[in-house]
């Protein structure tokens, strides 16, 4: 808090030497002579030292209050920054988890697709080989029969 500046109250206590002279003429007002040692200084009249100390104390208190106020005003910004960092990290983790799950899911689908293709290709190849074997056997079988019959005839005739 800021304290009001004290209002100076002059404290003039110089020793005054009055010389009074009496004559038959009209009265002369007394002459005041001030001693130079007892004259108040400019600083003492206006109490500059006290006022300066008071200002220094007030400024120090104000500065402390100002630093405290700055710290208080900085709290929402610090909290916002912290929350932003936490949210960014949470979003990054959530995105990474989701990406990993999608990759796993697509990998399973891809593996299943490749198994299906492999099974289908094996089935098609078996069918083609079976068909080709039957075709080759049906072409070769008459020749084998002919060759076996010829050999049997040759054996029988000899």
Is residue 113 over pLDDT 90? Answer: yes
Within a domain: residue 35?
yes
Would you give the DSSP letter of residue 30?
P
Q: Which helix (H) or strand (E) covers residue 22, if one does?
A: none
Within a domain: residue 9?
no
Within a domain: residue 143?
yes
- pLDDT value at position 40? 66
Within a domain: residue 5?
no
Within a domain: residue 107?
yes
pLDDT in tens, 53-111: 888 888 888 777 777 888 888 899 999 999 999 999 999 999 999 999 999 999 999 99
pLDDT (mean) for 130-135: 93
Q: What is the pTM of this model?
A: 0.39
Structural domain count, the chain: 1
What's the Rg (C-alpha) of the chain? 60
Within a domain: residue 3?
no
Alpha helices (H) along the chain: 42-46, 48-157
pLDDT in tens, 3-24: 555 555 544 444 444 444 444 5
Residue 11 in 3-state DSSP? coil
**Range(s) of the domain holding residue 33:** 16-21+28-157
Within a domain: residue 4?
no
User: 127 — phi, psi (to 5°)?
Assistant: -65, -45
- pLDDT value at position 18? 43
DSSP assignments along 67-89, one per residue: HHHHHHHHHHHHHHHHHHHHHHH
Within a domain: residue 152?
yes
């Amino acid at each position: 808090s800021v304290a009001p500046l004290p209002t100076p109250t002059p404290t003039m206590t110089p020793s005054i030497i009055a010389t009074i002279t009496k004559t038959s003429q009209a009265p002369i007002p007394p002459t005041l002579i001030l001693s130079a040692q007892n004259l108040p200084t400019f600083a003492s009249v206006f109490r500059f030292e006290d006022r300066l100390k008071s200002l220094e104390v007030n400024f120090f208190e104000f500065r402390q209050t100002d630093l405290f106020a700055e710290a208080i005003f900085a709290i929402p910004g610090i909290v916002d920054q912290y929350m932003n960092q936490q949210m960014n990290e949470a979003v990054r983790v959530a995105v990474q988890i989701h990406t990993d799950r999608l990759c796993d899911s697509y990998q399973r689908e891809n593996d299943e697709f490749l198994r299906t293709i492999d099974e289908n290709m094996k089935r098609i190849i078996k069918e083609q080989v079976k068909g080709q074997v039957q075709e080759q056997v049906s072409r070769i079988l008459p020749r084998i029969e002919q060759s076996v019959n010829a050999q049997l005839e040759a054996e029988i005739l000899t």
